[in-house]
């Protein structure tokens, strides 16, 4: 299973796994999308951005934070991300649809991404981390 929710007293804690580092980042985005926009299915909107950061945890934090920024500023419900790592960070494409209250009101607002407890680990099966969404 690429991601699963863990018990947390106030926020949403996700355990995210991926066979590759790319898959780990894409699944972390998918976990975020599943919380915010569980009914998003269309890919009518594409958003592209790049990040420059070498530290893995900080890069993942910035990546997920950038997703929150675009979802709010562009007023878009997101459902998929494609990540390509570069020598200095990553390039990402996000796919989704214009936010419509009647279609997307079932999600939970995520206010931020916490660095607390986030540690990207290499395992026998690939990569894993915990991500805490501040709701």
Domain that holds residue 21: 3-134
Q: Across residues 73-99, what is the average pLDDT?
A: 97
How do residues 38-75 score in pLDDT, each as one tens digit? 988 899 999 999 999 989 999 999 999 999 999 999 99
Contact partners, residue 29, CB within 8 Å, separation at least 6: 63, 64, 67, 78, 80, 81, 83, 94
pLDDT in tens, 10-48: 689 999 999 999 999 999 999 999 999 998 889 999 999
Q: How far apart are CA 133 and CA 13, in angstroms?
A: 6
Residue that has been written with the tokens 């500023």 in this structure? 73
pLDDT at residue 3 greater than cutoff 90: no
Total structural domains within the chain: 1
Q: What is the CATH number of the domain that holds 86?
A: 3.55.10.10
Q: What distance in Å separates the CA atoms of residue 34 and residue 13, rounded to the nearest whole number?
A: 13
How sure is the predictor about 93, in pLDDT bands with cuts at 50, 70 and 90? very high
Count of beta carbons in the 10 Å neighbourhood of residue 9? 5
Sign of CA dihedral 17, 135, 107, 90: negative
């Amino acid at each position: 299973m690429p991601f699963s929710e863990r018990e947390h007293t106030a926020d949403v804690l996700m355990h995210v796994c991926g066979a590759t580092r790319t898959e780990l980042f894409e699944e972390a985005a998918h976990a975020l999308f599943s919380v915010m926009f569980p009914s998003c299915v269309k890919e009518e909107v594409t958003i592209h951005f790049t990040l420059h950061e070498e530290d893995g945890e900080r890069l993942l934090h910035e990546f997920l934070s950038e997703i929150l920024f675009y979802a709010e500023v562009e007023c878009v419900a997101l459902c998929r991300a494609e990540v390509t790592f570069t020598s200095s960070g990553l390039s990402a494409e996000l796919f989704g649809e214009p936010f419509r209250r009647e279609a997307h009101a079932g999600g939970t607002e995520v206010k931020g991404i916490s660095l607390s407890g986030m540690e990207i680990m290499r395992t026998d099966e690939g990569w894993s981390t915990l991500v805490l969404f501040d709701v």
